[in-house]
A and B are shown apart, each in its own frame.
Chain A
């Protein structure tokens, strides 16, 4: 790999000005309205919260190594899993891919100079950060023990944790998410370059568009719900308190109206990334472009009709259960369409096993498995047994960790040369992809078995017969943790020592690869004109040959 000498040879003569070195100083970052710099700010922010969530996870797995609750007090353990859920869901998963990759790429991909509302974009980041730090502040002052779901009346009456502060933190971050979605939606509608019709838009943009729909329509409901929880705690309003005639199940309806679609806020962007990776590394137009694009929007819409499958045993009516069950199955169809189309894209391609593709293939496998186990949860008769057990925990980690994080890391590896202008060491990145894949499966596969055996989730202590599987899970988590540390190291390393990346190191199509790496502040020297379909490798090849 490279040495400092490499940098010395290439830096002196004509230093090219790009968005990273156009201006210097802390203020030039903290007050920036450049979408690319804001993406970097998000990268720092979500990595920070991911690390905190990861520490929580490590402590949870440590406690569960042995059956009795012998490492932490029950109270502490409850705060650990709550902190893990809150940090990961609200401050890593939801802002993650949209904040980092969406911000960086949407204007580049559609040939725009920036998002529609650059200052609003910066405000989103500050809201995200303030929300996250508020939630963290609650943790420092004693933590919350309600679980990330804040079920009433426990959260409103019985918990002595810092529920109000945490709820306010999530509320603030919710507005960050709303404003990001709003910004992206307007950007995609009004800022596309000449010739960039909807059917010429990269699938990443379609995925972000679908995500924006959910962010806009869903997030306000959870915002008001958490506000009501906070108000109820402070003023004893009784809206969700049965002692005053309120109904706790109403809270669940309102909460899941957002929080189920929120799962798709997390996974749709990852799917969007995978669509880009699969086509780039098989050098072929994506199979079924229109179906993948349409399925993203279909998922966004259908995701709002299924929330009641979280409540099959909660005392919801049997008939509501039936309706929610069948609608939940319907979401599986567009997801299946995506998986089949990705697979078909590889067929007769020119497949190159570079790191981003390894992540993409990992995503396809894990998402398929996670999605199929999701069918078990939509099946009424079966869900009664497995809900609120480790089966659920395993299922949603397959989607969120196996899906979203694989997609996020795959995308980060794919666009890192564009973001940083540097190449990371290919050997180590492949190693980390494998370590993560193996560690992940070892962590979460045993939890399916545990769940069907009946181990309930959020248990601090558990019967001895569940220990072997729990030890496997903890061992896997250690491997997974190491897998996540490796990229952290070499990404930092590459910023200083990595080889300079060319403008288009993967030989991919897409406007973002037609501008220098890293891009100049205004993205494109000349506003690009789009003349053809996306992922048109044949034409791209001919143009290269002619030019």
Chain B
């Protein structure tokens, strides 16, 4: 019987160290209180029925001590926990992009090169993997215990998260947010593979058309190209080179064109309009499936030169290239 889960991701050791600290604190105080309670109860047991013990006067100093010590401890926990949290939430650059769609009750996974999987995810070890996740129906949660990795997949937006597997093996994939009748059946496996094995896996099997190519097709189908054309005087802004850039909005604000902004621009175009373009784009909410959205976004990403060294923090860019639906 296992008592402790495997450590198979880059942040698992950090989470476990934090856990160890908290276990130590928990054990110390539980034992302290338990020992004190039991020993007082025995040492000061009632010896005669009419006994009245002396009054012990309260001590302000003592109250202060047992207020300050827990306060100090929880502050340590907070900062340590926050540090680990930032490590978990900030994706590194140069990650492998994988797109996940959750629906009752399965995980659909699309790799950039067109590989598709169902309830299985193959990843290489030693390389960060960035998941862009969407739900077609209710809230799901992508949970890989061995990676100490969990993220709710909320319908209506993208959930973005990352991990880096460190140990080859086969690990449980669970849905952790209750999602209906077969919630406990929405499970699968994550295969962490040595890079060479991963390349072999990638080259095997039918890799269909790439995600960006599928997105390009949808771009035509939905007639996005009629407005977002690459020519002067087009009704919509150009999308080339858009991803990761800072966009100037009407009203003087700016926004970085990330997945969330692109998604919003498709489903709720009037929310943040690009400077210089009229609010003429209709909403596509409900007209494009979640998988389709992911493909469109992969396509728009493909229009920007990789690698993302360029996608630096939102420094005000000097060029004022209107770019937005």
Contacts and interface: CB of A to CB of B under 8 A. Distances in A.
A336 B180 contact: no
B255 interface: no
Interface of B: 1-5, 11, 14-15, 18-19, 22, 25-26, 29-30, 33-34, 36-38, 40-41, 44-47, 50-56, 58, 62-63, 66-67, 70-71, 74-75, 77-78, 80-89, 104, 137-139, 141, 143, 145-146, 148-152, 154-157, 159, 172, 174-185, 268, 285-286
Contacts of A329: 74-75, 77-78
A354 to B, nearest CB: 10
Contact of B66 (A157, A336, A350): A336
Contacts of A330: 74
A541 B3 contact: no
A348 B40 CA distance: 7
Contact of A454 (B5, B34, B36, B70): B5
Contact of B175 (A158, A321, A456): A456
A344 B58 CA distance: 9
A496 B119 CA distance: 62
A54 interface: no
Contacts of B286: 243
Interface in A367-388: 368-369, 372-373, 375-376, 378-385, 387-388
Contact of A145 (B11, B51, B63, B181): B181
B82 A380 contact: yes
Given A153-B137, A158-B138, A372 B177 contact: no
Contacts of A151: 138-139, 177-178
A205 B110 CA distance: 59
Contacts of A340: 66
A187 B63 CA distance: 31
B184 A462 contact: yes
Interface of A: 69, 74-75, 78, 145-147, 151, 153-154, 157-159, 242-243, 245-249, 282-285, 287-291, 312-315, 318, 321-322, 325-326, 329-330, 332-333, 336-337, 339-341, 343-344, 346-353, 357, 361, 364-365, 368-369, 372-373, 375-376, 378-385, 387-389, 449, 452-454, 456-463, 465, 468-469, 537-538, 541
Contact of B5 (A246, A285, A452): A452
B178 A372 contact: no
B151 A313 contact: yes
A313 B181 contact: no
Contacts, number: 280
A387 B150 contact: yes
B84 to A, nearest CB: 3
B30 A78 contact: no
B235 to A, nearest CB: 24
State the 9 A-B residue pairs at the shortest beta-carbon distance, nearest first. A454-B145, A242-B156, A381-B84, A379-B81, A380-B85, A329-B74, A346-B40, A459-B184, A372-B26
A284 B55 contact: yes
Given A452-B4, A454-B5, A326 B78 contact: yes
B146 A351 contact: no
B145 A453 contact: yes
B37 A365 contact: yes
Nearest to A541: B52
A333 B74 contact: yes
A288 B29 CA distance: 20
26 contacts: A74-B182, A78-B178, A153-B138, A154-B138, A154-B178, A154-B180, A157-B138, A158-B104, A245-B156, A248-B139, A339-B33, A350-B46, A361-B37, A368-B29, A380-B84, A381-B14, A381-B81, A381-B84, A381-B88, A382-B22, A384-B151, A385-B15, A387-B176, A459-B183, A465-B2, A541-B50
- Name the residue in A69, A78, A315 with the highest tally of chain B Cβ atoms < 10 Å from its Cβ: A315
B70 A332 contact: yes
Contact of A74 (B40, B174, B181): B181
